[in-house]
Amino acid sequence: MLIGYVSDEYYMALADVLIEFRRLDKTCAIVRSSPRGAIEANLAPGDYEVVLVKPGFGSKRVTMMVDASSPYHFRLLSDRLLGYAWPRAIRSREKSEFKVHAVEPYRLSLWRYGYEREFVKLLGWFDEHAARAVMQITPDGDYTQTGVKWNTVGYGSTHHTQLVTGPESSGLYYFHAKTESGREFFSFPLVVAPGKPQAKVAVLASTNTWLAYNNFGGRSNYINSTELPAVPSINVRQDLIRYTKAGSFNTWGFQDNEYRPLSFERPEPGNCVGEHEEVTDPIPGRLQSSLAPAEWRLLGWLEREGFAYDYYAENQLHDGTLDLDAYEVLIISVHPEYWSREMFAKVEDWVHGRGGKLMYLGGNGLNCEVEFLENDRLRFKTFLRPASGGELGMPDPAEPSRYCESRMHRTYRSEASLLGVVCTASGIMTAAPYKVIDPDHWIFAGTGLSKGDEFGQESLHERIHGGASGHETDKMSPHSPPGTRLLAKGTNPDEGGGEICYYETESHGAVFSAGSICYVASLLVDPALSRITANVLNRFLKNS
């Protein structure tokens, strides 16, 4: 009889797991999982204590019910170094708990990431007498919906708390974990907002995007986006519809209500920065160039240029922790793809109604609406069924004669109405410099650039290398506000370059948009791009 399946933290099938079923203190069966992770045994229905063991993974004991009509999904966690902070975003003087998985003693320290990596404090060495006592276990089933809930099993001591107090200085912080053997290193972020506003500029971390791309547990908004399949994967290129089904956005071809939530409470390997990585180093990896490691480059640039800022997570904009009226400028950057409509409305009202200044230094931003469930989970309203090819828009299902430029446009309104630009498929996965279109505009003051000149040639972006206009790029649309001026355009193929644009509002608000994920990766190394960005920020602060 099929009892269930066993898989790892990426929902990959585990073969040859040794499994013992016990009931009333007696062993009922000892079996091994098959190559597809299946567990079969001749057992009567009912409750069992189950012990699972496999070299390279943490052993664990589970109480479960055998039910032939409902296969059970056992989950094991591999022997590796991982961690996360919870909550991931706090204010100064608030507390966050660090939750680390290791199979040997580890050293933990806290660092602040700006233009310099600042050592904040040593948090100590962590071990707990017994063998593998700092090993965590994951829940069974689909914990991408609920979180991994580390530091709960066996962490009852009131004397061994794992809390850190948010430092006084707002910013991006990283925990550094390193094992005693020196073989493993892992870092994980903590967003520290100010206890009360300190600067004139607020910078928003794209924490919703961090979640969307996090596939720890076997799901993200890009793989198994609706729910975990009935059986774990053996070879993802053969098993997942992202790879097996025709179409660019097949994983988003489901109705909004079919997408199960995703929990923030999971490790984020894509946000890990190297132990000795500096802000001026090239950005390695696939995900890092779109997530926190890339956003760090903006913070480094701000500090190098002398601009003070306060740092916030996106949930803090959503829940009101970030008071926009306390700031003159809001900066969003790199890849702020996923916003709630409450976030959108707050920023739009601030810019269009109360004179707020917005700098959008990214690409494919505000493209999809999300719904916050409590403050620790998101539901993605990600249904997208293009009429042809790899378009990022689609006809409105309720009114086919109306074209929706994006998923956000389908559920709420076009992001171009706020940002001035919207992402399109042209130029995707390419990178190139920008070309000056309107050289007389004040953003080019002091650059020496003339019409047709190129800038943004230098970049730290290694995944899509070639210039500041790239990876995914945004362009003006019919929904751009009246008076939006096109100032420069990327030289990417197929007219796919990101469009740098600017507009002002009747309330004396203003928006500057870069239209490119790669933009921030060039700030520290391209003098012209740096001067343009500084011109905008200086004017926004002066005009305020």
pLDDT, one tens digit per residue, over 99-123 is 999 999 999 999 999 999 999 999 9
In a domain, 242, yes or no: no
Judge whether residue 544 has pLDDT over 50. Answer: no
The closest alpha carbon to 206, from 360, 392, 404, 424, belongs to 360
Question: What is the total count of domains within the chain?
Answer: 2
Structure tokens at 82: 């991982």
pLDDT tens profile 403-461 = 999 999 999 999 999 999 999 999 999 999 999 999 999 999 999 999 999 999 999 99
In a domain, 220, yes or no: no
Residue with tokens 């992001």: 415
Structure tokens at 308: 């003070």
For 41, phi and psi rounded to 5 degrees?
-160, 150
Taking residues 334-338, report their average pLDDT. Answer: 99
Per the CB < 8 A criterion, the answer to whether 511 and 503 are in contact is: yes
In a domain, 533, yes or no: yes
pLDDT tens profile 157-188 = 766 679 999 999 999 999 999 999 999 999 99
In a domain, 35, yes or no: yes
Quick one: pLDDT at residue 473?
99
Per the CB < 8 A criterion, the answer to whether 193 and 90 are in contact is: yes
The closest alpha carbon to 380, from 243, 236, 264, 242, belongs to 264
pTM: 0.97
For 221, phi and psi rounded to 5 degrees?
-80, 5
pLDDT tens profile 64-99 = 999 999 999 999 999 999 999 999 999 999 999 999
Domain final residue pick, 59, 75, 91:
75
Quick one: pLDDT at residue 248?
59
Taking residues 350-367, report their average pLDDT. Answer: 99
Q: What is the CATH number of the domain that holds 53?
A: 2.60.40.1120
Domain final residue pick, 57, 75, 93:
75
In a domain, 238, yes or no: no
Q: What is the CATH number of the domain that holds 539?
A: 3.40.50
pLDDT tens profile 244-298 = 886 657 889 899 999 999 999 999 999 999 999 999 999 999 999 999 999 999 9
For 80-103, b/e burial (b = at least 16 CB within 10 A) is bbbbbbbbbbbbbeeebebbbbbb
Domain final residue pick, 23, 58, 75:
75
Quick one: pLDDT at residue 246?
64
Cβ contacts of residue 265 below 8 Å, gap of 6+?
84, 86, 146, 147, 148, 149, 376
Range of the domain at 335: 289-543
**Secondary structure (DSSP) of 352-415:** HHH--EEEEEESS-S-EEEEEETTTEEEE------SSTT-S-EEETTEEEEEESSHHHHHT--T
In a domain, 361, yes or no: yes
Q: What is the mean pLDDT of the chain?
A: 96
In a domain, 11, yes or no: yes
Identify residue 280 by its one-letter amino acid code.
T
Taking residues 18-25, report their average pLDDT. Answer: 97
Residue with tokens 């009852």: 156
Per the CB < 8 A criterion, the answer to whether 78 and 68 are in contact is: no
Quick one: pLDDT at residue 226?
96
In a domain, 126, yes or no: no
Neighbours of 250 (CB within 10 A): 17
